[in-house]
Amino acid sequence: MPTATFPQQNYPEDVAVLHHADKTILLVGTAHISRQSTDLVQQVIEQERPDAVCIELDEKRYAALSRRNSWENLDLKQIIKTRQLATLLVNLILATYQKKLGGQIGIMPGTELLAAAQTAQQLNIPIALCDRDVRITLRRAWRSTSFWKKGYLLATLIASLFDRTELDEEKLTQMRSKDVLSELINELGAALPQTKSVLIDERDIFMAEKIKQTPGSRLVAVVGAGHMEGIKQVLDTNNRHRLDEISALGPANNLGKIVGWTIPALILLALLAIGLRQGLHEMTANALYWLLANGIPTSLGAMLALAHPLTIVSAFAASPITSLSPLIGAGYVCAFIQVMAKPPVVREFETVSGDIATLKGWWHNKLLRIFLVFLFTTLGSALGTWIGGYRILNALTQ
């Protein structure tokens, strides 16, 4: 671990001075919804006048913080085509939770990061965005999490939306303390070790390497307090060779691929075997059952989401086909149709952070209704696949 001291300007323990090679790095640990952190960041940069300011942001998050109307560049159709709707939902939930907590004390999440960038710009100090692309982080975390842990994680995230915890600066000070943060990170590691590795450990390595690559002999690096200890531990280790590895999406779940292709193959082979052994009539009857078993619950899911009539019809028509292909799910097809038939309006993008925290808001906001369509039709299609598959495989043994 690199030597850590404290600067002469009597900074609090949220600021540590690290030495690596010919660089002096003032590492500032912040809480992302703290006014105190915002003031501290501005103070350190103004007093130190470093050669560069490194910030725990990637290009996407920096653009979102810098432009209030970043939703104008959100292409929902492209997000659905690239099958990133679930990633967008998780990102939205996390951002909403932080924004809700920040609203309790009158400061929005990420304000201290934006303040770091603005202060550096005012002083003509170069800025280095040192965090990994948030989309890669979320997708690596999702892929590294088992099926059952995904359910646990989603349930926890959704429950957080309805949490009414009151947060003040005193509690934020406790959250920034090393003991509390270490305990929280250890709890995450125990419950979701792969997820913790992606969200915390990999980003510690990524940011440490990016900080070391930033030109200048005296740097200020502004990161979340939860990353301070990790960055200290890996700063003197050469992990440059790992950057390509942890910047890739990572391999998809092989078991998921096998299951995804095995189920439709079994269904099609079973229908063919029924036709050969029991005749065309029985094969047609089972194929019709498959169509109804998939179409009915999927279309009911669309109805439950109050989807557009065209989406409901599409759910019935698409589900029996998409259930036989792991390349695209009924949820994505239905979400795409819903976007085309009932696109969200400007006001709903602006109010989504408030609407997402209420049950009524999920059905009232057209953007959130797209997520409901995706979730409910996906569940309906999965239910239909198991019901239809059980009937067909059972008929094969008779």
Q: Is the Cβ–Cβ distance between 317 and 389 less than 8 Å? A: no
CA 149, 153, 154, 156 torsion-angle sign: positive
**Token pair recorded at residue 172:** 């934020």
Does the pLDDT at position 312 exceed 70? yes
Q: Read off the pLDDT band of 242 (50, 70, 90).
A: very high
DSSP state of 357: T
Q: Is the Cβ–Cβ distance between 252 and 139 less than 8 Å? A: no
With vertex at residue 14, the alpha carbon angle to CA 184 and CA 247, rounded to the nearest 5 degrees, is 60
DSSP state of 202: H
CA 237, 243, 245, 250 torsion-angle sign: positive
Pairing of the two strands 15-20 and 4-5: antiparallel
Residues 5-20, mean pLDDT to the nearest whole number: 73
* Greater model confidence, 210 or 326: 210
**Token pair recorded at residue 131:** 């965090």
- 324-344: burial string, b at 16+ Cβ within 10 Å, e else: eebeebbbbbbbbbbbeebeb
**Token pair recorded at residue 177:** 């303390």
Give the Cβ contact number of residue 38 at 10 Å: 22
Residues 234-240, mean pLDDT to the nearest whole number: 93
Q: Is the Cβ–Cβ distance between 343 and 317 less than 8 Å? A: no
DSSP state of 133: P
Q: Read off the pLDDT band of 5 (50, 70, 90).
A: very low
Encode pLDDT of 247-293 as tens digits.
887 655 555 566 667 878 888 888 888 888 888 898 999 999 999 99
The pLDDT of residue 317: 94
The pLDDT of residue 78: 77
- Across the chain, mean pLDDT equals 81
* Greater model confidence, 217 or 355: 217
Query: pTM for the full model?
Result: 0.68
**Token pair recorded at residue 202:** 């990999």
Encode pLDDT of 324-361 as tens digits.
887 788 999 999 999 999 988 777 777 877 788 788 88
DSSP state of 285: H
CA distance linking residue 378 with residue 328, whole number of Å: 11
The pLDDT of residue 4: 42
CA distance linking residue 20 with residue 394, whole number of Å: 67
Pairing of the two strands 15-20 and 23-30: antiparallel
**Token pair recorded at residue 289:** 């059952």
Give the Cβ contact number of residue 140 at 10 Å: 22
Tokens 């842990």, residue located: 149
